[in-house]
Amino acid sequence: MAKQQSGSTPFKNPRSHLTVRNATNQDVPAIAALTDRAYRNSSGQSGYSEGSIRGQINNYPAGQFVVLVDDQVVGYCATFRIAGKVALRPHTWAEITGNGYASRHDPEGEWLYGMEVVVDPEYRGYRIGNRLYNERKKLCESLGLKGIVFAGRLPTLAKRIKRFSSVEEYIEQVKQKKLRDPVLSFQLRNGFEIIGIIEDYLDSDRESLGYAVHLVWHNPKVPQEEEQERSKRYGERLPDTVRIGTVQYMQRRVRSFDEFLGIVEYFVDVVADYQGDFVVFPEMFTLQLLSIEDQQLRPSESIEALTKYTPHFVEALREMALRYNINIIGGSHPTRVESGRVENISYVFLRDGRVHEQAKIHPTPNEVYWWNIEGGRAVNAIETDCGPIGVLICYDSEFPELGRHLVDQGIQILFVPFCTDERQSYLRVRYCCQARAVENQLYVVMSGNVGNLPNVHNMDIQYAQSCILTPCDFPFARDGIAADTTPNAETVAIADLRPETLQVARNSGTVQNLHDRRHDLYNVQWRGK
């Protein structure tokens, strides 16, 4: 403990006492003032705003602690949970902390991330930081997490670096106790281990020259995995996720049905190699089969030509789903059904061999004109090994009642194969899909066509930017976009989606759209099948 000058001790009052507890929103002004005092003399550093501190507390109340002397806040630490795959790799301060708001908090994260520790300068020497570190460790142990990880400052580096050949040498000297660093030495004494050096961690930290030391503390109550030889793990995924690949499919002429299947199988193979659970194709992507013909067919002839492929199409994609161990959302395929009606049907091929159908409910005016397509009457959740899902084909996504009807049946992922010819049409679908994601607090996956089929009615030109959308809240991607594609380029977008995160958002999100519905005023009454 550092010695206090005579008469300068802040504990002069014999009744003063020190307590540690979780921070609350009532503490926010005092914490902000504390951070201003703590960083007042630090070059390039400044205290936290009240908004960012409020975000830290609201995002993870259990992880924020204050130290009080009587009623005065003299210490604060900010902590949140995060996945090791994120925290154990190089990162920046803004990236890992959500720019200081702890918005990267993951309720399922297996590590605690130590975002900040600040101590009132007048109370340094009373092991305030040590008390806060101990609270973190107790929290980690109580939750059964793997440990604590963070990046620590080097506040004397800028003044001392000229004495050393590199930052690595400086850190090694501290590690060997030949040199004392006020922060790193303290962290090493508290049982933390160095796992690396992060460059450009916080550019504004001029005292540390932007560097930070990557440190971990392993929870002694949790068995540690044995060190394994480093090897490439192709497409490794996080646990408890659903991995989805959405195909932005290029329409171009094919010479045979086998050539068409070869293109489809290529994308199935790609997503399966990434250990995907679902691969998604666009609406009407089978109209590419009409390019096999040497001449442009009349609409009625086109439907009959497509219908002859239906059994082979279903058989082939079912086989792919089984062989590649992946669920396939087979876009949609205009089909003449047994009653003689023409319906736009999405075939869903599960990797256990089952095949489901979802007809489009609202044909567009073009579909009615060119193909005489009629709308279906059933919208049902489909049970998969990744939970119940729903499919709404393109225009159907613009009718909120259908999405709500599927969510009422328990779906958490909505697939929207679409086919749009120009940007305005695409944006109608995109905006409506984002609305469905927000109002129903679910994931929405869009898959569209690009390219041209000049000799096929109603498929002349295509515009698409396929994507995977999320609700807009702290646990999700910043802009509500888990994955996106370059417009009008053939590609695949892949994302890992956590169903558990949806449950957290639905039950305790910033807004809780499903929970807050006024069932006493309105509801969706389905009169179809």
- Smallest CA-to-CA distance from 445 within 405, 412, 407, 479 is with 412
Q: How many C-beta atoms lie closer than 10 Å to residue 486's C-beta?
A: 12
Q: Which CA distances in Å does 169 have to 196, 230, 492?
A: 13, 25, 44
Active-site position among 283, 367, 374, 398: 283
Active-site position among 360, 374, 386, 467: 360
Look up 394 and say whether it is catalytic: yes
Q: How many C-beta atoms lie closer than 10 Å to residue 506's C-beta?
A: 19
How far apart are alpha carbons 302 and 130 in whole angstroms?
75
Q: Kindly compute the dihedral angle of the four CA atoms of residues 402, 405, 407, 409, in this order, to the nearest 10 degrees.
A: -140
Look up 398 and say whether it is catalytic: no
Q: What angle do CA 15, 21, 24 make, to 5 degrees?
A: 115
How far apart are alpha carbons 132 and 23 in whole angstroms?
12
Active-site position among 140, 394, 432, 472: 394
Q: Which CA distances in Å does 197 have to 65, 185, 419, 455?
A: 27, 15, 48, 59
Max Cα–Cα distance, the chain, nearest Å: 99
- Strand ranges in 411-529 using DSSP code E only, listed in sequence order: 413-417, 443-447, 449-451, 467-469, 481-484, 491-497
How far apart are alpha carbons 367 and 459 in whole angstroms?
11
Look up 169 and say whether it is catalytic: no
- Smallest CA-to-CA distance from 387 within 410, 359, 354, 416 is with 410
Count of alpha carbons within 13 angstroms of residue 261, beta-carbon side: 15
- Active-site positions read 283, 360, 394
